[in-house]
Amino acid sequence: MATEIPAATIRTRVTIPLTFGDGYSVTAEAVTFHGLVDGAEHLALLLGERSGNATPLVRMHSECLTGDVFGSARCDCGPQLREAAERIENAGGVLLYLRQEGRGIGLYNKLDAYALQDAGLDTYQANLALGLPEDGRDYTAAAQMLNALGIIELDLLSNNPDKARQLRDLGIKIAETVPTGVHATPNNLRYLSAKVEHTHHTIALAGALG
């Protein structure tokens, strides 16, 4: 049985032209909300046009200041965000930009975890060493946002099985899980390997660096 969640309502809709670092441009309708359970300022970006009764393509992207804004090569967040924008624009759907820095532990704690990773721990071990959860993200607010947008069934753009599991538990139907590309570099390969080993992300790393 799905968990019942409070209803959120749409607060603002505004059009924003977006341009990424490689020059790719797209126009998004940005949507904000009232009543999100965690009180955070999450954002929905509506992209593209769906044909007929096509299922919307949705990505829940957790904020990553270092990767999304500064282009850090320690993770694959920036390339995933760029990929998601284009794929959702082509298919028609929604990019949920969730304010969940560092898998929910916050920016300062994430940088503390980086220091522990430099000392030999992986990304999940570092969180635990700080007394924090491996992954502290809760997607109730995301489900509220989808409900407010009238989306109860979707194709989920994600490599993370926990995202699909949580959304299903919150009453959202996942028609298909669509993996993102593999954005492996020498700097993030250990990070991606930890995702595969600890939380069973569907990332095909064999031969990823050629």
Other Cβ atoms less than 10 A from the Cβ of 83: the count is: 17
Residues 6+ apart with CB under 8 A from 140: 3, 5, 37, 38, 170
CA angle 139, 142, 145 (to 5 degrees): 155
Q: In this structure, what are the phi and psi dihedrals at residue 78, rounded to the nearest 5 degrees?
A: -60, -50
Residue of 134, 196, 159 lying closest to 79 (CA atoms): 159
| Cα–Cα distance for residue pair 145/147, rounded to 1 Å | 5
Whole-angstrom distance, CA of residue 205 vs CA of residue 184? 8
Whole-number Cα distances in Å, 12 to 27, 97, 168, 197: 16, 15, 27, 40
- Rounded CA-CA distance 42/29 in Å is 14
**CB atoms < 10 A from the CB of 29, how many?**
13
> Which residue numbers are catalytic?
135, 137
